Amino acid sequence: MLAEYAVRVENSRGRRIPEPPHRYRNDFQRDRDRVVHARAFRRLEAKTQVFTHRESDHFRNRLTHTIEVAQIARTIAAQLGLNVDLVEALALVHDIGHPPFGHAGEKALNAAMRRHGLYFDHNLHALRIVEDFEVRYAAFRGLNLTFEVREGIIKHSRDYDPVRYPELAEYLLDLRPPLEAQLIDVADEIAYSTADLDDGFEARLLVLEDIRSNVPIFEKYFLEVEKLYPDAPDKLKFNEAQKRMLDRFVGDLITTTQQQIRRADLRGIDDVRRHPERLVTLSAEVDEERRITKDFLYNNLYFSPTLDEEKDDAEIIVASLFQYWIDHPDTLPHPYQQKAEQEPLPRIVCDYIAGMTDNFIFEQYDKYLVESR
């Protein structure tokens, strides 16, 4: 049963190119499936989340992170009476525009674009992927996704100024996104705030004693677990505490959002869009716990000196290859050379690099900038 403020697939604004209905899948289910079968989605398996694939097979990558976000978001959506099919499609596509090497790669790519008066935004790049780069269907370029999924791709995590982004005018920039899209951003934060603790501990960059001392909510649950399982190994106690943290964040998001919805007296999707603030949110208390966890991760994991060399290498590789293809556009693959006839060369080079996996960009760097020396 969908709530009255949920997005209904039968009220979708549709696709750019109309298609006949499928006999047993609705349009949001078809969008989900098109994302899952996209090449860009498969490439997420070889893109860094925090640790590169070379560190261990056990660390999360962009794909496994995406799956975790989808699982969390589906659970929450069902409790809120939202459209689970739309939520799942948005969760699965939300990171599809990220470049190789995680945030280090994104930083380097944006810096390279800034030197040409442009910029890189992974949400807008994701839109380019689903609108144009995926070539799977004879009837159209891209995935021909519904308006609601395309809108959610760009609006799930931030609001775009309609004056600064006139090219996005069709996406109702002066209105809030539906709750289904709002949910993705918070589910993403919950997913990585807990999962990165796990990967950091597994990598031995985070020490149990430091986590317990600096993340009070983790310590609270760790003490509970110690009483229940005093003889369990520390790793299993860690797992139990982390699981309880995740459950607390998710449970609080559900109850707080339900309270927000009641206060707003939502009667339909138009009320969601016109509300002055986003309604999917954590309580002040739990959001502070999430913030403390995130700050701890930034100070002790994301900016750990142990990862500096890896991030420096990533930035050098991205920046060097970007400049190489600016100077030697004839070495770009032929389809990108053709695109450069219609769009600025820096944008085309950016598109090419952003679509690469960690593996492939290493290969390109060796081919063009190491072996050629």
Average pLDDT over residues 108-115: 97
Q: Are residues 274 and 358 in the same domain?
A: no
Residue 232 has pLDDT above 60, yes or no: yes
Task: Find where tokens 């995926």 sit.
Answer: 134
Report the pLDDT value the prediction gives residue 287, as an integer from 0 to 100: 97
Count CA within 13 A, CB hemisphere, residue 310.
20
Residue 60 included in any domain: yes
Pick from 361, 330, 368: nearest CA to 348: 330
Average pLDDT over residues 176-202: 96
Residue with tokens 């800034």: 114
User: How far is residue 70's CA from residue 114's CA, in Å, rounded to a whole number?
Assistant: 33
| Average pLDDT score, the chain | 95
User: Within a domain: residue 4?
Assistant: no
Task: Please say whether the dihedral angle defined by the alpha carbons of residues 234, 236, 240 and 246, taken in this order, is positive or negative.
Answer: positive
161 and 22 in a common domain: yes
- For position 284, what pLDDT does the model report? 97
Residues 46 and 194 in one domain: yes
Residue 57 inside a domain? The answer is yes
Candidates 301, 323, 310; CA nearest to 368 is: 323
Rounded to 5°, the CA angle 352-355-359 comes to 105
Mean pLDDT, range 3-25, rounded to an integer: 97
Instruction: Show which of 259, 288, 308 is a domain's final residue.
Output: 308
272 in a domain, yes or no?
A: yes
Residue 203 has pLDDT above 60, yes or no: yes
Range of the domain at 45: 9-308
Residues 279 and 321 in one domain: no
Q: What is the dihedral of CA 106, 182, 153, 88, to 10 degrees?
A: 110
Domain containing residue 63: CATH number: 1.10.3210.10
Q: Residue 220: count other Cβ atoms within 10 Å of its Cβ.
A: 16
What per-residue confidence (pLDDT) applies to 11? Answer: 97
Q: 78 with 212, same domain?
A: yes
Q: How many domains does the chain have?
A: 2
Residue 221 lies in a domain: yes
Q: Within a domain: residue 2?
A: no
% of the chain surpassing 70 pLDDT: 98
Read off the pLDDT band of 373 (50, 70, 90). low
Write out the E strands in 93-244: none
Residue 179 belongs to some domain of the structure: yes
Q: Could you tell me if 239 and 331 lie in one domain?
A: no
Asked if pLDDT for residue 54 goes beyond 60, the answer is no
Same domain, 341 and 264: no
> What's the DSSP call for residue 15?
B
Is residue 255 domain-shared with residue 343, that is, in the same domain?
A: no
Other Cβ atoms within 10 Å of 29 Cβ, number: 17
Nearest one of 322, 88, 318 to 183, comparing CA atoms: 88
Q: In this structure, are 302 and 314 located in the same domain?
A: no
| 286 and 302 together in one domain | yes
Count of residues making up the chain = 373
Domain end call among 283, 308, 333: 308
| Residue 1 within a domain | no
Q: What is the pLDDT of residue 109?
A: 97
- Domain stop point among 308, 331, 348: 308
Residue 281 has pLDDT above 80, yes or no: yes
Residue 57's pLDDT is: 72
Are residues 142 and 70 part of one domain? yes
Please indicate, yes or no, whether residues 229 and 97 belong to a single structural domain of this protein.
Answer: yes
**pLDDT class for 56, splitting at 50, 70, 90?**
low
- Torsion of the alpha carbons at 285, 302, 52 and 334, rounded to the nearest 10: 100
